[in-house]
A and B are shown apart, each in its own frame.
Chain A
Amino acid sequence: GESVGLHLPTLSVQEGDNSIINCAYSNSASDYFIWYKQESGKGPQFIIDIRSNMDKRQGQRVTVLLNKTVKHLSLQIAATQPGDSAVYFCAENSGGSNYKLTFGKGTLLTVNP
């Protein structure tokens, strides 16, 4: 079946640097994407979403980029802080009345002080 995957399972950055987490998806029918942050012992926390009619969306210190041509999604975190250390998941949804999400494998982000 089609799936969502990640290029890098782990990412280590220095505090203050910018982080980029990547995700590849294979379902060309997917038209809605979400990034989640999951800290140890907690449920996934919604960070930012983007619809397929957009290629960029910005939030507070985060930016999501969508490249539909190559089916690639990225999450950029500016001025990464120790509190950003977590596992980050991308998830896709094929839209319509189907709200089901397919999750990628996750990337562990470690921020070194």
Chain B
Amino acid sequence: SAVISQKPSRDICQRGTSLTIQCQVDSQVTMMFWYRQQPGQSLTLIATANQGSEATYESGFVIDKFPISRPNLTFSTLTVSNMSPEDSSIYLCSVARGGEHNEQFFGPGTRLTVL
């Protein structure tokens, strides 16, 4: 499995500000994803981070609120923009090698609290 790190591991932010979360993988991967996990809830896919092109967002998530970058095959960022307390969640990146390998592995998550 891939080794995935996220920065920051946690943060407390003021409403109206933005936070950029980084996801770094120790090997090249085809697919990278960003998920949100609200307190006590399951995981919801925000978007697929596409290398060299715009991310693909799921219903209910928009680029203006959650801009994503993926400059290469080992790194991606997710920005949570103009934050409100409702954005308090764990944000997780995941990776899949692609091809016949559907296995998806997750980073440790970023715990965000918005005051």
> Which residues of A come within 8 Å of B, CB atoms?
32, 34, 36, 41-46, 49, 89, 91, 93, 95, 99-106
Contacts and interface: CB of A to CB of B under 8 A. Distances in A.
A100 B43 contact: no
B92 interface: yes
Given A43-B108, A43-B109, A100-B48, A95 B102 contact: yes
Given A43-B109, A89-B43, A99-B104, 15 more contacts: A41-B111, A42-B109, A43-B92, A44-B43, A44-B92, A44-B106, A46-B105, A93-B102, A99-B33, A100-B45, A100-B48, A100-B58, A101-B33, A101-B45, A101-B94
Interface in B27-45: 31, 33, 41-45
Interface residue tally on B, bucketed by range? 20 to 34
B64 interface: no
A103 B102 contact: no
B24 to A, nearest CB: 14
Nearest to B32: A99
A49 B102 contact: yes
A95 to B, nearest CB: 7
B19 interface: no
Given A89-B43, A100-B48, A106-B42, A46 B103 contact: yes
